Amino acid sequence: MTYHPVCNPVPPPSYPRRSSSSGSLTGAVSTIAPSRSSSVQSREAGERSPLLSKQLPESSRSSNRWVLKDSNLLVFAVPVLFVFAVLLFITSFQSPPIMKSKLTSFWVDITPDPMCSTIGARQYTATLSNVPEDWDNVEACMKTSFYVHGKVVSTSPICTVASALNSTTIVQGRWTIDFDQSDCVPVWSAISSNCSSYGVRTYQADLHVPPGLDTSSSCKATPAIIQERKLYPECELARQDDGSFVAKGHWNFFDQSECVPVWSAISSHCSSYGVRTYQADLHVPPGLDALSSCKATPAIIQEKKLYPECELARQDDGTFIAKGHWNISDQSECVPVWSAISSHCSSYGVRTYQADLHVPPGLDTLSSCKATPAIIQGKSLHPKCELAQQDDGTLVAKGHWNISDTSCAPQWVRVTPHSCYTYDQKRYTAVLNKIPHEMDPLKTCFEAPLQFFMDTSPLSRVYRAFSINTFHKPNSCGWDRDSMIGTWYLEHSDCRPTLISMQRYGCVGSGLQRFESEVADFGPHEDWYHLCTAIPYQWQGKTYLPLKCESRESWGKTRRYVLYNIPTDQCA
């Protein structure tokens, strides 16, 4: 470490100085040796000084015996001493403080801004008056109290100093006051409410916005007390007739029971086969669309939540009411039921089943009858229906089914051929056997056909080849004692005599000409004259019956002749 001398103290005169070469004292004023006390004091002084290093050994003492212990201490000490000296110098030249006069200024011309600056706040301006001459204008502005509505304003003003034309100084202050400014608070109009949708009530009001405030921002920032709650609205701007905009706020409240449409008592009736229709009127709260509310409002029917089919019905006062209905199918209580089915033979081979139909209230009787089948002979069959009036004046549906049934078909027995009835017709008779007791015998006789095999017909071989049978109903019916007899007149070759040769004779008067022919091929056991008088003759597109028939003997043989008088031009 290098030590730098701070000072070079003159050694005390009592300290002898020795020469390094001869050991004699040099520069001594006195030859008296220093006392012990002086030596001790010098050592003590060196030990007490913090800026001095320790004393050098006795053998190496010189004129630079006192040195600094550390150079950093010197760097710190010099600036401190300098600053202290400067402060003493400045203080010695300052004049004593001068006392100001009392601040007597006050504010005049207090003017509120006509436009609000923010919600509940307005700017005020005022002019400072009576400022003491020894006061700075800005300082006086800042320290002069300002009152609004009897309350001191705690905020500092914005001060401006300007020169007037008369060389006077005008000091003005500006404050933003945010208390007791009720006319800068937007106010909601009377709040109205209405049901806007299912279970939702909407409150709405217009906002009166003071001048200077933004309409939309003020609306969003202004709450209202609704249902004892402080709520901020949803806002929209609406243009008024004068072109200005008004802020409209609305609040939606959900789960509002008074905004839920309610069905009246639900009634029901059977509307069609197996279908029960439930119906009710819907009470719709004001503000809701009746038809939309109807479609959106379910009802609990048969323990199920069901939505209705809806329609609007005009009431007597001209208003509309929503009517809902629900169609529930597969309802057994809405299925008409047949009474016990009875049957009887109604005609030949036909059994008629009949029953009355129990029709549930609400269903059309006749339509229900036609739509309600019954199981007859193992088959589901729809009936023919008719309405019958009962003793109490009500109508009952009667259904009947006509079914083919052999038990209703009595059989012909004892079929007997007889002689020819007339030309080309042979008479047959038969007895109708086992007529059901409920059937009219005479009516049944006319309805019962009989199968004939025309063995004597020219077509009999064709009929037999192709298994063709012919059925004929009787031409007449009647009782013969206890039997119902049916009679048939059928074509037969035995009843068809042949004209052998037709001869024309002279006129017989009145434009008639005599025609004559021999007749042959009478059936055995047939009455020839009866058949002969029925033989028709075709002449010039017309049919003529015989005038008479004659039997003539010639050469021991009997011949039959037929005579016709036929109009001709030759005898005109």
Residue 429's pLDDT is 95
Q: How many domains does the chain have?
A: 7
Does residue 519 share a domain with residue 432? no
d(CA 408, CA 435): 8
Structural domain contains residue 387: yes
Task: Report yes or no: 447 and 459 within 8 Å, Cβ to Cβ.
Answer: no
Does residue 251 share a domain with residue 285? no
Residue 469's pLDDT is 65
Report which DSSP code applies to 5: B
d(CA 380, CA 359): 19
Q: Tens of pLDDT along the chain (572 residues)?
A: 333 333 344 444 443 333 333 333 333 333 333 333 334 333 433 434 333 334 444 444 444 443 444 556 667 777 778 887 877 776 655 555 668 899 999 999 999 999 999 999 999 999 999 999 899 999 999 999 999 999 999 999 999 998 877 778 899 999 999 999 999 999 999 999 999 888 899 999 999 999 999 999 999 999 999 999 999 999 999 998 998 889 999 999 998 899 999 999 999 999 888 899 999 999 999 989 999 999 999 999 999 999 999 999 999 998 899 999 999 999 999 999 999 999 999 999 999 999 999 999 888 999 999 999 999 999 999 999 999 998 998 889 999 999 999 999 999 999 999 988 888 888 999 999 999 999 999 999 999 999 887 654 444 444 444 445 688 999 999 999 899 999 999 988 888 898 998 999 889 878 899 999 999 888 777 888 988 999 999 999 999 999 999 999 988 888 999 999 999 888 87
Structural domain contains residue 274: yes
Residue at a domain's end among 257, 272, 306: 257
Bridge partners (DSSP) listed for residue 401: 353
Residue at a domain's end among 124, 158, 182: 182
Structural domain contains residue 216: yes
Structural domain contains residue 199: yes
Structural domain contains residue 77: yes
Residue 393 is encoded by which pair of tokens?
A: 């004046």
Residue at a domain's end among 459, 494, 529: 494
Residue 91's pLDDT is 60
Does residue 313 share a domain with residue 246? no
d(CA 73, CA 54): 16
Structural domain contains residue 210: yes
Task: Report yes or no: 357 and 338 within 8 Å, Cβ to Cβ.
Answer: yes
d(CA 425, CA 476): 14
Does residue 250 share a domain with residue 318? no
DSSP notation for 25-77: B-S-S--PPPPHHHHHHHHHHHHH-TTSPPPPPGGG--TT--B-S-HHHHHHH
Does residue 560 share a domain with residue 471? no
Rg (CA), the chain: 74
Residue 250 belongs to domain with CATH number: 2.60.40
Structural domain contains residue 99: no
Does residue 284 share a domain with residue 273? yes
Does residue 238 share a domain with residue 191? yes
Does residue 57 share a domain with residue 25? yes
Does residue 110 share a domain with residue 175? yes
Alpha carbon 16 to its chain centroid, in Å, reads 128
Cβ-based neighbours of 413, under 8 Å, separated by 6 or more: 430, 431, 432, 433
DSSP notation for 533-571: TT--EEETTEEE--SEEEEEEETTEEEEEEEEEEE-GGG
Task: Report yes or no: 425 and 492 within 8 Å, Cβ to Cβ.
Answer: yes
Residue 373 is encoded by which pair of tokens?
A: 């089948």
d(CA 139, CA 441): 142
SS3 492: coil
Structural domain contains residue 519: yes
First to last CA, the chain: 195
Does residue 253 share a domain with residue 293? no
Does residue 112 share a domain with residue 36? no
Task: Report yes or no: 451 and 471 within 8 Å, Cβ to Cβ.
Answer: yes
Domain that holds residue 143: 106-182
**Nearest C-alpha neighbor of 423 from the set 531, 550, 500, 547:** 531
d(CA 454, CA 448): 19
Does residue 209 share a domain with residue 164? no
